[in-house]
Structure 1
Amino acid sequence: MSFHHRMMLQRYGLGCTTSLYSEVLFDPIFTPIFTAVLGTGGFAIGATTITYASIASAIATTAISIGLQALLAQAPKPPKPEDGRAPLNQAIPFRIYAVGRTRVAGARMMWEAKGSNLYSVQAIAGHRIKSFNRFYLNDDEVTVVDNVVTPLTTGGRYGAGSANVRLYTRLGANPETPYAELVSALGADGIWTNDHRGDGQASLAMRAHNADAQDQQTAFPYGAPSPSVEIDGAYCWDFRDPAQDPTDQTTWTWTRNSAVILAWHLCFNEFGFGLDYQKALLPVIDLWKEEADICDEDVPLAGGGTEKRYQCNGWDTTENGPKSGLNAILATCDGHLVARGDGARILTVGKFRESRTATLRDADLIGHNLQYGVLFEDECNRLVPKFTYPATNYTSCDTDFFEDTDAQIAAGRVLTMEGSYEWCHQWRQARRLGKRDWLRQRQEVKGSLDVRLSGINSVYARWVRLETPKRLPKLDGKLVENRRSIVALTKGGFTMDFIEHPEGIDDWNPATEEGQQPPVPPAVNASEIPTPVINLIQAKANGGSVYIRVVIIDPEDGSLTPVVRYRVSDADGLGTPGAWVEQSNPNAEPSGGYIDLSTGNVPTDEVLDVQAAFIASNRRYSNWSVTETVTSTSDPTPPVALASFSLTGSAPRLGNAGFAFSTGNDAHVKSVAIYRVATGAAFDPDTATLVATKAVAPSASYTATDGDTTRTNLVINGDFASSAGWTLGTDITISGGTANKAAAGGIQELFRDITAVSSGKTVRGKFNITSWTSGNVRARLRNIAANTAQDASDKNTVGEHLFSMLTTAARDRFGFRFDAASVGSIDNAIAYEATASCAPQGTWDYYAVPSNGSNIAGPASGPLTVTII
């Protein structure tokens, strides 16, 4: 097809619909801003020229699903979770990155024997990590106290006779601290010196001391010990927290949130895509916040309690390239990622919203290819979700599968497909993800659409509503899901692969759909005691205090005493966990295959780490279970809305705003926070400015203030009730309550004495223009003795005008400068010396939000709109 012919088709497509001009040009969410990369050929949309090169390089849609994974079978995939048990042995190993909580052995950097000692160092991650949680030697989990592996759970392994093993860790600070014991032993030989710090590299070091000959087989039955660790991985910028700075990693936090981790991988991971966050995230940051909040939504569990909707945990190496990790992260949240033409990335996680829906009409389509029914080679009548199971020491595991027995009978066999969610570590989450893919796989209406350039918004939307009574009458009014879109100029613009959106894909009934917890093979330690498997963990509020309920699977051994321990995850505000508090449950009885345990009262409103173990009759312990995290919320009930919220005082408001509010008859309300946002802006307490917090009681009234209430007006007779105190220019008069400038030549001034304001102070104020014909007027500060002046900006429209000036010298006069052409009247002049505690000048909306004792917020009251002078 010739270039001329293509241009004719494009012009025809643009002319067939008005949606291009009503949606594409003005849609703030999905409209791409293209930037030319190569070439000069292009076409115009309105006044914007878009080049072919920029489209071809910019438009891409990535949607992770079972079907697409089949198409991308050759795409790189992260290492299997079992690969994290043994370190990589390569001359130049690939770098490793880790997110969330996972088990990894890293890569060996040094392996050296000297005398009776074996020394090793393993690179765990090529970035700073939060913590080392658990330690393994070969497949034995070991307890480490003051760097020494203790024989508490090893039955003599790694500690028989003279044998002992020491483990040392570094979190990846920059600069990092050398391993002193290794330097002492190997530094003189140049093998490991103080220069081997590993700046920015999380690492693990080991020193293993031989046992006597008669104890060697007991101490090291598997030969030289091979360490691996459970870690909490990378710190990420949580863009919802205003205290975190994207340019300062020390303000970041550890997280499992899939959306936050994806943003880190796209922009901040040294081994990720390396995108500029100011282009990739900031233009659409509100959309990213929405997705992160959805990932953090609490999903109810069948046995009680909740878990987060979408969490991500995993590790990868640079051997695979960044797309491997991208696909793994997206799989944990049923994610759909779009690269917009201006470099922005739009993420949509698996939860339908009308706000992420576009519309395609008959005139937006140039062709289609529909499939009704499923081809034999694509048929699936059983879907098996696979995830990584921490309870089996981080191995791949299956959950209960989804199947259609009628379809199996019709097909004459079971046609199985696996849903791979390797960076998902929660079996219930894997089930929820599997249901979504299972329902999509069962949809019979699939196909592709050739979309004109006028339908460009649909390329960037995850869901598309079809209004196609002529071209696709069977699909008219239907909702379809955009699975993958590519540029196809020869087909009119884009080709979109779609599937009909399944009904009920977001519905979830834990009682019937959660399934059974995957079985955990008996994993005994060297003391022959099985490790508990936690089925459920729940914080239970009880009269202002909180205890933790822990449900474990019955080991069917009445001689074992279950024990629970907990600690505060961040005891000092710097990420350091507190001490473990242990409590046994000797009277707990099994019921229905489970044992229900509970702790005593725990610290309230804290994030707690919780583990379980068994104690045998000989007082030996099993290994501790996988660490679970729970928030000890003492009051889960949000308070009701405030009974009232109003402004106090009256205008003009010199650097402050006052408020009065009353609480309702609600025992849950404990505090009220007042927030300030720019007028007309959406209210989000995570990004709004907190201006006041009040401890409150039910059915009571309070006041609060934003700013400095001590400011007074320096301008006497600023309402021009008379001319007293004012010095008037030749063509200026004061009458009728206004100062008036007549039509005459020359620059004129109007001024009066004020209390002196020293240099370096801020003078803020306002005045009204009541009528205006021509020219400009500006506020002015003067110094009498030096005869110097400084001015605010020119004004020339009727209305209220604010000004602010930082004094460059002492000022003791205030007034106005009228230029030669000015004709008009002014009134209500105010000026005052502002302080650092003054509320910022401008027009603001204020909101009041009540919270309970656990900082759970109730409904916001407001906005109250206030102009601060």
Structure 2
Amino acid sequence: MPFIVSAVTAIAGAISGVLAAGGIGAALVRLGGTLLLSYASQALMPKPKVALQARTVTVREPVVPRDMVYGRARKGGVITFLHASGAKDQYLHLVIVLAAHRVKSIGAIWFDGEMAVGAGGTVQGRWAGKITVEKRLGAEDQAAFASLMANVPTKWTAAHRLAGCAALYLRLTYDADAFPGGIPNITVDLEGKNDILDPRTGLRGYSENPALCLADYLAHPAFGIGAGIGAADGIEVESLIEAANICDEMVPLASGGSERRYSCNGVVSLAESPKTIIEGLLSAMAGRVAVQGGNWRIHAGAYRLPEVTLTADDVRAGGLVLATRVSQSANFNGVRGQFVSPENDWQPDDFPAYASEVYLAEDGGERKWRDLPLPFTISAAMAQRLAKIELERARRQMTVKLSGKLAAWRAGVGETVMLSYARWGFAAKPFEVQGVSLDLTASGDGALLLPELVLRETSPLVYDWSASEEAIYAAAPRTTLPGPADVPAPGTPHLAEEMYETRGGTGVRTLIRVTWVEAPSDFVRDYQIRARRVLDKDGNATGEDWITLGRTDQTSWEIRDVKPGRWEVAVKSLSVIGVSSPYVSAEIEILGLTAPPAALESLTIQTAGGLAILKWLPSADLDVRIGGRIVIRHSAALTATWATSTSMDEVAGSDAVALVPLKPGTYLVRARDNSGNLGPVASVVTKGAQVLPFAPVMSLTAEPGWIGEKVNVAVEGGAMKLVDIGSEGRFTFPAGMDFGALRRVRLRSEIDVAALKLGGLIDDRTALIDSWLDVDDTDGAEIDVIVEARSTDDDPAGTPLWSDWSRLDSSEDEVRAVELRARLISESPDYNVLLLRLRIHAEEVS
């Protein structure tokens, strides 16, 4: 068993006793010395108390120990002020103390492990507009948070400066999506203590040098042990400079480049004992602290060339005792452990283990691990170097207890000495002095105080390192579990316009049917829909706000009774904890009741006697079936248009059949909705043939002279047109038809009509009117010519009794005489009626 454990224990007990007793005993003990090791080097010590995880938690407690930050770290803090304000308490004010001293910088702020505020102060992602930040670095003369005083002047005043403490003020604005779980766990990137003394320059500032960080802690009068740098009972400057220089040496890396041999980056909790804190800081540099003669000597992990050689002449008789091996339980041949990994979000992670195949063979093939926690190390390569030093130190297991003469007193604690002892085969073998004590020994002249040394085998190979020994570190793969705020959006909504019948069937309205593909997550519970009309039916911006319509767990929604115009509809997902995704939106142009009906389909004609039976499929438009009409027109031409035909009949929009007089030519049918909008034209052609043959009896022809009574009509270029298109025109034949006696005849009209767009000049046309198929852009014209007749059974030359005027398309009557006229009508203010031909034919069965 090595002697170092008993030596350290004895010295620690002696120091405790002397500090209690005081006097000459204390002075004598100060002449001895021992090494304070990093806890990783003490095989039989309890597990370290410096936590690797608590640093990333922000707490709210009435009494909390202070923290010191050396180097870089991501850590939480202590909430020292918490207050809500605003009309609905929508603002939450927090003050978080991060460190009990001045720091170099306060960088990015993280909420539940996600960056909320960048190092430059830019608020990120869903927190934009929800966070305001103010920072204080911890100067003794720093001012209170100005924005906090402005926001809650009765709660935070200029006296609340948090002097000497690095702190953060946050104002959070309530938003269920930004803060689904309430106050998040807040962590901050820090560059720590900014007043560390470097005795090499005499300047104070920020440093990641472990030797300087340890010296700063030891020298702190309030948080450390008050061992001032260069003080008579403080830290020896020469050894500190040596250790600092060793830490700053550059070491090549396997990936290229280099880094400092040792760096210190971590958090010190002042709740820990000074011994625990010192051991934790020493772990960052494989270091030792030698306490001898009342002085503290800091040694970084490096081989020191020996300046003292001890031989048998320096040893009292029987004064050498050798232990060659440590116990089996304390032995190991591989080192593994954890460090703080910036690549792993500053969480503890395993560094690549360092193991020796040579030592494995020496131990009979049984792998034995030593766990090495490194709370102040953030480099995987540095952690591997520290692991190798621990392994190589532990495998040099020979320990010598040397009871020496006064000449042995020249060996100081923490130094390397050469020991030559022929009996054991030692020829200038290097040992590290790990303990010096005084032994009260009797002699012929009386009692003598003689030194006793504890030596541990060492070698330059302990600290030898090549970049080829480094294993490349890869951070543990991140988990694929979705974050509570990562709610996927649904698919882009599909919008369709539809009509629906109001309750009771009294009217027709327009709806938008919204459908979407569900969000790809089992944690989505509902969808929220909102809509707004962007433009009215005339294309003018409405300025309307969004209207939230509701929520559903389905993937469809109906927006009823919408006005014509351009609509934007948006949908978002809502998770089981109430967090929502971004909205996804689409737009649609709603024509509503202004949309023209669809064309009637499957139009057919059948003849029966003098009737034409027209059939079609029921209209697909609800606003035609309810309150609409089916309009039927006729033209003698085989290639007719709506503007070159005349009205014949109308039936209800819900009908799918109509009986009309049979005439040769084209029947044109179209739907008209309850708002008066006409759909596309469907047409069918017939020869008008009947089973019974008819022979002509008499005919009347109006063109080209158009002799007769004219009301609001005029003749121009051989055609008749309206004088005032806003009023109805009328032409009456000058003489009717007298059949001489009661006679059964069929009366049939023959009409050729066209629409004339206002501004169109007939004079510009050189072809004959009879060759015109249309007149200048007349697709939208709504014109008509209606032929009417009245009849009598009396002699028209006497005092006949005439019937009322009635519409004439084709009819069979038994009459003596008839009179005829035509009415010209334009429903389109931009179009005139152009009546090209008007003839009436009387026929009888031959």
TM-score, with structure 1 as normaliser: 0.48
Q: Which one has a bigger Cα radius of gyration?
A: 2
Q: Which has the higher contact order (CA 8 A, sep 6+)?
A: 1
TM-score, with structure 2 as normaliser: 0.50
